[in-house]
Amino acid sequence: METLLKCPICSSTNLESVMQIPDHFLTNEIFSISKCLQCGFLFTNPKPLKTDIPKYYQSEDYLSHKLKKLNILSTVYYFARNYSLSKKHSIITKQKTTGSILDIGSGTSEFLSYMKKRGWEAVGIEPLEYPREFAKQKYSLDIYPDFDFDNKNDTTFDVITLWHVLEHVEDLNLYMQKISKLLKNDGLLVIALPNHESWDAKKFGTFWAAWDVPRHLYHFSQTTFHLLLKKYNFDLISTVPLKMDSYYISFLSQKYKSGSSSFFKTIIKGFLSNRDAKKSENNYSSLIYLSKKKKSI
Ligand SMILES: [Zn+2]
């Protein structure tokens, strides 16, 4: 385990351990959440060493087996969790009609394939080998294992997307630097994240599925994510709710809390979360933040 002594956003050393949360998904190990008393950012601290991180994810064999066998289910899951592909497409094309797009953490790349079919030049980064190879073969996409684009160091993109990825990355600041470098000057950055100030987060407490420790290393609110954008010279354009996530997260949280989850309870909780968000400063269970690089003077 590695203990962070400074806040990843503002570098303050004024930190306090505020929550103890079990890994409900896999190991049941308990993890601490630190709060920066300067800027309010929450992060998993200590965090697993880089070499230990894979053990908190399903093994690659398991994933590939699951993907091969449950293609229909994974498609349904993809839809439910990440909103529909057409919705993502329409959110982006409201800002930019066409161009080049980089999806970081592209998984099996259904989203990139959807964009490519509509005329976008689509590139992905996916560290796991199986989904990367799957996307290359099935959709003939360019998918790289990391930020290393070989001889294309000057490549830049019109749009960069991270759908529920930034909360997982090992080095938050390194990612933001790389993203900033890879995005064109008037480029669009689209980042989807869970929101720990949502109704379902408060309702389920330590059982809230989107804490997802230790896979989620950073836990953003709208306020702390705005601070991160500001640090890297991005201007927020708009914030769009991911209403389906309230249902998905409520379903999992209910399961973690009581051992089972009913369809009825899921619908009620998801509905209540979305209803509350409308009244409380857009605090939906998950949010998509759209931002642009500030023009350099
Ligand atoms: Zn801070």
Within 8 A by CB and 6+ apart from 170, the residues are 50, 53, 217
Measured from the Cβ of residue 258, the count of other Cβ atoms closer than 10 Å reads 11
Residue 245 CB partners (closer than 8 Å, separation 6+):
81, 194, 210, 284, 285, 286
Q: Residue 287 C-alpha to ligand 1 middle, in angstroms?
A: 21
Q: Cα of 42 to ligand 1 centre, how many Å?
A: 8
Are the CB atoms for 134 and 67 separated by under 8 Å?
yes
- Ligand 1 centre from 27 Cα, in Å? 29
Higher-pLDDT residue of 273 and 292 is 292
Global pTM?
0.90
CA 14 → CA 7, 35, 197, 228, distances in Å?
A: 8, 9, 22, 18
**pLDDT, mean over the chain:** 89
pLDDT in tens, 29-88: 999 999 999 999 999 999 999 888 888 887 454 444 445 444 444 555 555 555 578 889
Query: What's the CA-to-centroid distance between 164 and ligand 1, angstroms?
Result: 21
Q: In this predicted structure, what is the pLDDT of residue 2?
A: 94
291 CA distance to ligand 1 centroid (A)? Answer: 21
Q: How far is the CA of 35 from the centre of ligand 1 (A)?
A: 8
Give the pLDDT confidence of 166-211 residue by residue, as tens digits: 999 999 999 999 999 999 999 999 999 999 999 999 999 999 999 9
Distance (angstroms) between ligand 1 centre and the Cα of 18 equals 14
- Residue 75, φ and ψ in degrees, nearest 5: -70, -45
| pLDDT, position 233 | 95
Backbone φ and ψ for 187, nearest 5 degrees, come out as: -65, 160
Q: Ligand 1 centroid vs 263 CA: distance in angstroms? A: 39
